[in-house]
Chain A
Amino acid sequence: MSAAALRRPARWPRVAWAESAAIWHPASILTPLVIFLLVAGGSWDQPLTEVRDLALLMFFFPLLHWRGRPAPGSLDQAVPVGSAPYALVRVACGAAAALLTLVLATLLNLSTVRAGGYPASYPAALILAGVGSYLLGSAAVLGGERPGRVVVVLLLPALLVADAAGVELWSWGRTVPPLPGDTAGPAPFRPSLTLAAGVLWLAAGCVAVCASAWLGGRSRRLARARAARLSADRTAPVPAAALAVPRRPVTLGVVAARQLALQAPGMGVMLLMAVLAAALSAWRGPRGGLLAGGGPLMALAMVAFFAPVLVWLDEDRRRGDWDGARAVDPFRRVLLQALGGLLWLQAAVLVVLAGCIAGALRTGEIGTLAQVPGWVLPGVPLAVAGLYSLGTFWRMISGHPVEAALIGWLVTVEVLFMLDGMNEWGAIGRVLAPSHAFAAVRYMAPVQAWSPAAAAIWIPLCAALAVFSIRRRVRRDLHRTGPASAPHVARPAPLRLGEVL
Chain B
Amino acid sequence: MTFPALPTRLDGAELAIHTRAVSKRYPPDVLALDGLDLQVPTGAVYVLIGPNGAGKSTTMRILLDLVRADRGTASVVGIDTAAQPALVRAQIGYVPEVVDTAYGWLTVRGLLKHHAAFYHAWDWAYADALCKRLGLRMDEHFRALSKGGARRVALVTALAHRPPVLLLDEPTDGLDPLARDDFGALLVDHMADAPTTILWSTHHVHEAERMADHMGVLRDGRLLLQAPVDAVRSGLRRYRAEVPDGWAGAPGLNGDVLVRARAGREITWTVWGEERHVAERLSASGATVREAGRLSLEDAALALLRAGEAA
Contact = CB atoms under 8 A, between A and B. Distances in A.
A183 interface: no
Nearest to A233: B124
A249 B89 contact: yes
B226 to A, nearest CB: 22
A178 interface: no
A485 B98 contact: yes
B101 A322 contact: yes
Summarize B's interface: helix, strand, loop or mixed: loop
Contacts of A246: 77-79, 87, 90-91, 164
Contact of A326 (B77, B79, B89): B89
B128 A231 contact: yes
B117 A478 contact: no
A489 B87 CA distance: 28
Interface string A238-258: 100011011111100011011
**Chain B: number of interface residues, binned into ranges:** 35 or more
Contacts of B61: 321, 483-484
A71 interface: yes
B161 to A, nearest CB: 8
Interface string B76-111: 011100000111011110101111111111010100
A232 B125 contact: yes
Given A145-B141, A235-B125, A322 B154 contact: yes
Nearest to B93: A325
A324 B66 contact: yes
B268 interface: no
Nearest to B195: A245
Interface in B105-126: 105, 107, 109, 114-115, 117-125
Interface stretch (A270-278, A327-335, A404-412): A327-335
A227 interface: yes
A321 B64 contact: yes
A4 B294 CA distance: 66
B165 to A, nearest CB: 9
B205 to A, nearest CB: 19
B67 interface: yes
A487 B96 CA distance: 14
B32 interface: yes
Contacts of B128: 231-232
Contact of A247 (B26, B90, B117, B154): B90
Contacts of A321: 61, 64, 66, 94, 96-98
Contact of A328 (B57, B77, B86): B86
A226 interface: yes
A184 interface: no
A182 interface: no
A482 to B, nearest CB: 5
A424 interface: no
Given A234-B125, A329-B85, A323 B101 contact: yes
A332 B86 CA distance: 10
Contact of B122 (A224, A238, A245): A238
Interface string A143-163: 001100000000000000000
A318 B101 contact: yes
Given A227-B107, A257-B117, A484-B96, A324 B64 contact: yes
B162 interface: yes
Contacts of A247: 90-91, 119-121, 161, 163-164
Given A247-B164, A314-B103, A320 B89 contact: no
Contact of A234 (B98, B124, B141): B124
A8 interface: no
Nearest to A489: B26
A234 B116 CA distance: 12
Contacts of B66: 321, 324-325, 478, 481
With most chain B CB atoms within 10 A of its CB, the pick from A323, A325, A326 is A325
Contact of B100 (A145, A249, A258, A322): A322
A499 to B, nearest CB: 13
Given A238-B123, A247-B161, 10 more contacts: A223-B107, A247-B163, A250-B90, A250-B120, A258-B117, A262-B114, A327-B119, A328-B86, A482-B30, A487-B98
6 contacts: A228-B138, A237-B123, A327-B89, A329-B85, A332-B86, A493-B27
